[in-house]
Structure 1
Amino acid sequence: MDRKPDPREAYDFWLLDLDGTLVDVEWSYTREVFDRVGDRLGREFTDREVDVLWNGLTGSRDRQLEAWGIDPTAFWEAFHAEEDPEVRAEQTFLHEDAAFVADLDVPVGLVTHCQSYLTEPVLEHVDIHDWFDTRLCCTEETGWKPDPDPVESVMADLGVAHNGHRGVLAGDGANDVGAAWNAGIDAIHVERVGHERRGLCVLGDYRVQSFDEL
């Protein structure tokens, strides 16, 4: 079987997800946030439910909330009200295997569902702000992965859209893979939580548990 080329050398540009891909948050912070959100909503969240929502294990978080009988709008209002940017940043750590991004000698973009008021303090805390030539925090206006619009917007900012450049998007969820393929670029799925915990296998052009495997 032919071996795939090293993606660090095969692509003209890189796009990356943030949470669960480059960084993660200490469990104690996540658990405390969901405890406070549960108080606001009058509903307790089990550890498994917290895991599913925080890591997007079942794909669309809104669909999962609806399946549990929770109004997504009410949930996100409570969730964003309980997240403290500085505390979250302090509880965030950088995955060691993500360090290769700093050495990429091609345009690099960030495409994340993490909101801007949280993303900027996190990038500063883990000192990776200068890794990216452009950044996009998804909103209702930009669209959400797996919609290709936010990916294509970042590609346009990098000057690599629809002009023959070969690119890749690396992320930890099925939505990242879908967004990459919908935008016509390759996808790397980095499985941080494990197939058993996720309950399924996410396909991608590359499937790794650590970027070191590349």
Structure 2
Amino acid sequence: MDGEYDFWLLDLDGTLVDVEWSYTREVFDRVGNHLGREFTDREADILWNGLTGSRDRQLERWDIDPRAFWDAFHEEEDPLVRAEQTYLHDDAAFVTDLEVPVGLVTHCQEFLCEPVLEHLDIQDWFDARLCCTEQTGWKPDPEPVQCVMDDLGVGHNGHQGVLAGDGSNDIGAAWNAGLDAIHVERVGHERRGQCVRGDYRVRSFDELF
């Protein structure tokens, strides 16, 4: 399948890597202490994995101020501990076999992303990467995707590309940027509570090759 595309873009968390649940639970316990509100396991799962799409909209539905939440969340995340608690999915190794430019477009913040990439020794998997911010925009906005495409030199010359991710925001970003979309379902439809569409829908990247 890799020969079908001139370039690949990939999400990080939930797509190529995941974090041990114990780390997630501890972070949400500390964030809850900051905000004076407990988070159930289900709520932590929804927010960590973006199961309902926009995390900010989900927070607002729970009457939680998104800015206050993210300030507390980033204060409580320890980059080195997170990196140590992050593991690479076995099927992610397909990236090393791709013979075309590969870019990373992630909502994981740079201060967390870089230690994770270094710990897992996968920095050289990507020819360009972008950690989304308020300035770049957030998936499903196509802007961060197009920015990485420009960095790869495939932004405006008719190249055919694909973006793979685990969430509906990834699929939306791909389609909004004119790319094909691969949804890799890591958590299952029942736990997600909905079915995410994509040009390809798989449980493992191994199904594509």
Bin of the TM-score, shorter chain as denominator length: over 0.9
Q: 1:108 aligns with which of 102, 111, 114?
A: 102
Tell whether 2:34 aligns with 1:40.
yes
Q: 1:201 aligns with which of 177, 181, 195?
A: 195
Q: Which runs of 5+ in 2 are unaligned?
A: none
State the identity %: 82
In 2, the alpha carbon distance for the partners of 1:200 and 1:64 equals 15
Tell whether 2:185 aligns with 1:191.
yes
What is the aligned partner in structure 2 of residue 126 from structure 1? 120
Tell whether 2:138 aligns with 1:144.
yes
Q: Which runs of 5+ in 1 are unaligned?
A: 1-5
Residues 50-199 of structure 1 mapped to structure 2, 5 A cutoff: 50-199=44-193
Deviation at 1:164, TM superposition (A): 1.1
1:116 aligned partner, one-letter code: E
Aligned residues: 208
In 2, the alpha carbon distance for the partners of 1:205 and 1:103 equals 21
The superposition leaves residues 12-62 of structure 1 with CA deviations (integer Å, 9 ceiling, x where unpaired) of 000000000000000000000000000000000000000000000000000
In 2, the alpha carbon distance for the partners of 1:191 and 1:179 equals 17
What is the aligned partner in structure 2 of residue 3 from structure 1? none
RMSD (CA atoms): 0.4
Q: What is the DSSP-based 3-state SS (H/G/I as helix, E as strand, rest coil) of the residue aligned with 1:213?
A: helix
In 1, the alpha carbon distance for the partners of 2:201 and 2:169 equals 14
TM-score by length of 1: 0.97
Deviation at 1:82, TM superposition (A): 0.1
The superposition leaves residues 56-106 of structure 1 with CA deviations (integer Å, 9 ceiling, x where unpaired) of 000000000000010000000000000000000000000000001011110
TM-score by length of 2: 0.99
Tell whether 2:13 aligns with 1:13.
no
Give the ranges of 4+ consecutive aligned residues of structure 1 lying more than 4 Å apart after TM superposition: none
Deviation at 1:209, TM superposition (A): 0.4
Deviation at 1:162, TM superposition (A): 2.0
1:129 aligned partner, one-letter code: Q
In 2, the alpha carbon distance for the partners of 1:30 and 1:211 equals 25
